[in-house]
Every structure is written in C-alpha cells, then in structure tokens.
Amino acid sequence: MARIVMKFGGTSVADLDRIRAAAGRVAREVEAGNQVAVVVSAMAGVTNQLVGWCQSLSPLHDAREYDAVVATGEQVTAGLMAIALQAQGVEARSWQGWQIPVVTDGAHGAARIERIEGKGLIHRMETGQVAVVTGFQGLGPDRRTTTLGRGGSDTSAVALAAALAAERCDIYTDVDGIYTTDPRIVPKARKLARITYEEMLELASVGAKVLQTRSVELAMKERVRVQVRSSFTDAPGTLVVDEDEIVEKPMVAGIAYSRDEAKITVRSVPDRPGIAAALFGPLAAANVNVDMIVQNVAADGTTDLTFTLGKADLPRARRLLDDAHEAIGYAEIAADADVAKISVVGVGMRSHAGVASTMFRALAEKAINIQVISTSEIKVSVLVGAEYTELAVRALHTAYGLDVA
C-alpha cells in the first residue's frame, strides 16, 4: 500500500472516453490498496483556445484576468474526472487550487508554488477518497487564482507529491517515457529507463517539453520520485533519479530543441567599458531574459553584439533598444526570429572530451551553419536556422550513437 500522485496531461484527458480510461487506471491503483491523488490538465487544446481568446481581445491583457480565464480548463477536467471515478464506484472529490489551498506568489501567469496545505487531503485519502486536483492553478497573495505557466500541471503534481509525502509521482502522458530526444521528430529516439534530475532539468530548460522545468527542479529539491509513463499502454516508463543511481553514464543523455528563440544583433557598438551594462540593463529591468551572448571586436574598435531571447520578448526588446539608441551609440539592429536552439545534454560531459567537436562536425557534414554557440558544464547549445531543426537533431542523434538499432 502506498500513497501516490497520478498526473494526466491534456491528451490523456482529451475527451470523455479518455477521461473514462484514465479513471480506470486510477481505479486499479485504488483497488490495489493505494491512496491516490490525481492531478489533471485541461483537455487537449483548451488552454490554447483560452489563451487565444485573451490575446484576441487585447494583446496586452491584464494578467489577473488571463489567469481567471485560463485556469478554467483544469476546473472542467477535475470535475469530469471525479464524476468518471464515481461512475466506476470509486469515491472521489475534485479540488481547485484555491480550495486546498495551493499557495503561490503573486506572479500572475507564471506563479511559483510556495506551499500546499496537505493535511485535509491526506485525511480524506486515508478514508479511501480519491482527491482530484486541478493542475496549473494556485491562490495568490491577492486572494485571486494564479496559474503556473504553460505546462505547469507537472509542477502541481510534483508539489502535491511533496506535500502529501507521496511515494511516487506518476506523470501519465502521450509518450511512454522520456526519450533521448523528442520521438515525434526522431523516429529512432530511444526510451531511457532512467535519467538523472540534472539532465532532465537541463533538457527541460532548453526545450524538451515532456516535463515543465520547474517540476524537475522541485522534484530534485524535494526528492520526489517522478516517473513518466503512457496513458495508453502499460509499458514501463522512465524514472527520474539521482546521479548515483545510474552506473553507466553516456556522454550525451539527450538532445532537445527549441523554436521559441529569437536573435538580435547590435552592430558597430563602441568598444568601451559599460556598453554591455547599457545594453542589457534595460532588458533585465523589463524582465527580458537573455540567453546566449557573443561579442566580437572588429579592427575599427567597434564591436558587434549578438544575443538570443524568447521569441515573445522580441518586439519589447526592440523597442527598448530603439529607446537606448543614443545611450549605446550602435549603428544598426538586426532581428531574426527564424532560428532554433539545439542542445545536447549529458552528465558524462564532465569526464569526456570532444562533445562539442562531434557536434560541430556532424552539423558541418549536413552543411548547417552555426550562428551562436554556448556551453555549460553538462550542455552544449547551438543556434541554427529554424528550417534545419529536424535535420540537425537527427544528425546529432546519429553522431552520438543514440539511434535505436
């Protein structure tokens, strides 16, 4: 007998048949004697539609009202899941973020969970009642509903597992585990039996959408045993574990891509102290996150500065740089949204040399031009033209020997 959290993503609750099937999985765990809390996402496509409605009415909409709108998707699924469970003879009750409460900070649209009051739910679970909890939502300090950022139901599930001291947090989704890369673009991707928290964290942060970054960060901190598995089959999933639980450490564990990037080049900036501060200061003050940065000094004493940022921030960043034209004194600005970031990740990089050179050679063989490079301890990222995304990921997957035989 164990206490477990089962999270079902959008495609796993996309229609009534799927909700019924997911409820069937929950019923099996209850019959096996487990105490179960279920976390649900909105039905597939619903959150996108809700976000679209807010944007259509006003591109610069009020974040509190955005949350009031987009949190409704999960409310519907939670109620339906509770009804489906009851119809299968399982005692169940739905809970919204504010009812538990899932207390968050006040960053509407991208809130962070601060604490979850778990006692009430534990008490009910001990009497055999399944708690069906809305993912993605919380209660802010202004006593209004907040949401946790796209993909946030993963984080709801991990945070709930920590608050309930659950033995497992099973993330049910439309793939049967974590693969060496997105199996939708690389048919030869290989399913991993285990992956380290660190590698998954890095992969998520550079674009692997299978888990929200924050959920992995939280799982690592709170020592939650996360398993990613299929809603549609009984295949064993992938466990996210500590590094010492993996004996054989490959040089590269996985490859991720992100099409959410954009690139800005600021040309002919005077090469003197304080310029980088004048350029990046206003961006930071406006919460524009800058990722990769390269700077090159030309013979004439000026420098070109290239950096990447989120595509959604591009219009705002351009406006800020236009405003700072005089203070910085650059010649011109070029922006490019047709780029993709490809990253290879592996804790084995700490002890193996040659990861980056293998990457550059594999891309060169496919005549893919590298625009920007950045590295960290367990990651190498390159920026390439967006049209090369699939080709680059597949070439690297082969180059690192990750293809299934």
Could you list the residues that contact Mg ion (CB under 5 A)? 9, 151
Position 169 contacts ligand ASP (CB under 6 A): no
Query: Could you check whether the bond before residue 187 is cis, i.e. omega within 30 degrees of 0?
Result: no
Is 317 within 8 Å of 283 (Cβ atoms)? yes
Distance separating alpha carbons of residues 121 and 39, to the nearest angstrom: 13
Query: Which of Mg ion, ligand ASP, ligand ADP, none lies near 202, with the C-beta cut-off 5 to 8 A by kind?
Result: none
Distance CA 249, CA 346 (A): 8
Q: Could you tell me which residues come within 8 angstroms of residue 70 by beta carbon, excluding any fewer than 6 positions away?
A: 47, 50, 51, 54, 136, 147
Instruction: Say if CB 174 and CB 12 are below 8 A apart.
Output: yes
Q: What is the DSSP letter of 23?
A: H
The CB-of-203 to ligand ASP minimum distance in angstroms stands at: 17
The helix-helix angle for 72-87 and 46-57 (nearest 10°) equals 150
Distance between CA atoms of 106 and 145, rounded to whole angstroms? 9
Contact partner at residue 179 from ligand ASP, Mg ion, ligand ADP, none, CB < 5 to 8 Å by partner kind: ligand ADP
* Residue 47 binds ligand ASP (CB under 6 A): yes
Q: Which of 170, 182, 198, 261 binds ligand ADP (CB under 6 A)?
A: 182
Q: Closer CB to Mg ion, residue 9 or residue 237?
A: 9
Residue nearer to Mg ion on the CB measure, 232 or 360: 232
Query: Which one of residues 93, 150, 168, 194 is an interface residue with ligand ASP (CB under 6 A)?
Result: 150
Stated as kind and residue range, the H or E segment containing 269 is strand 261-270
Tell me the window of 9-17, 31-39, 285-293, 393-401 that interacts with ligand ADP (CB under 6 A).
Answer: 9-17
Contacts of 304 (CB under 8 A, 6+ apart): 265, 266, 267, 268, 269, 295, 296, 298
Residue 199 contacts ligand ADP per CB under 6 A: no
Smallest separation (angstroms) from ligand ASP to the CB of 31: 27
Interface of this chain with ligand ASP, residues 330 to 349, rule: CB under 6 A: none
Minimal distance, residue 383 CB to ligand ASP, in Å: 25
Query: What is the C-alpha to C-alpha distance for residues 344 and 181, in angstroms, rounded to an integer?
Result: 10
Q: Show the binding pattern over residues 130-149: x = contacts ligand ASP (CB under 6 A), - = does not.
A: -----xx-------------
Partner whose footprint covers residue 178, from ligand ADP, Mg ion, ligand ASP, none (CB < 5 to 8 Å by kind): ligand ADP
Please pick, from the candidates 38, 73, 159, 389, the single residue that binds ligand ASP as defined by CB under 6 A.
73
Does residue 151 belong to the site contacting ligand ASP (CB under 6 A)? yes
Q: Does 196 bind ligand ASP (CB under 6 A)?
A: no
DSSP-assigned beta bridge partners for residue 179: 191
Half-sphere exposure of 46 (CA within 13 A, CB side): 21
Least CB distance to Mg ion at residue 72 (A): 18
Minimum CB–partner distance for residue 285 and ligand ADP (Å): 32
Site string for ligand ASP, 98-137 (x = CB under 6 A): -------------------------------------xx-
Number of residues forming the site for ligand ADP (CB under 6 A)? 19
**Cα–Cα distances in angstroms (integers) from residue 156 to residues 185, 250, 269, 350, in the given order:** 28, 31, 45, 32
The yes or no reply on residue 10 touching ligand ASP (CB under 6 A) is yes
Specify whether the CB–CB gap between 262 and 238 falls below 8 A. no
Name the residue type at position 336. Answer: D
Please state, in angstroms and rounded to a whole number, the distance separating the CA atoms of residues 389 and 392. 5
Interface with ligand ASP (CB under 6 A), residue from 11, 41, 173, 358:
41
Q: Determine if 197 is a binding residue for ligand ADP (CB under 6 A).
A: no
**Binding of ligand ADP at residue 181 (CB under 6 A)?**
yes
Q: How far apart are CA 389 and CA 368, in angstroms?
A: 10
What is the contact surface with ligand ADP in residues (CB under 6 A)?
A: 9-12, 41, 151, 173-175, 178-179, 181-184, 208-210, 254
What is the contact surface with ligand ASP in residues (CB under 6 A)?
A: 9-10, 41-42, 47, 73, 135-136, 150-154
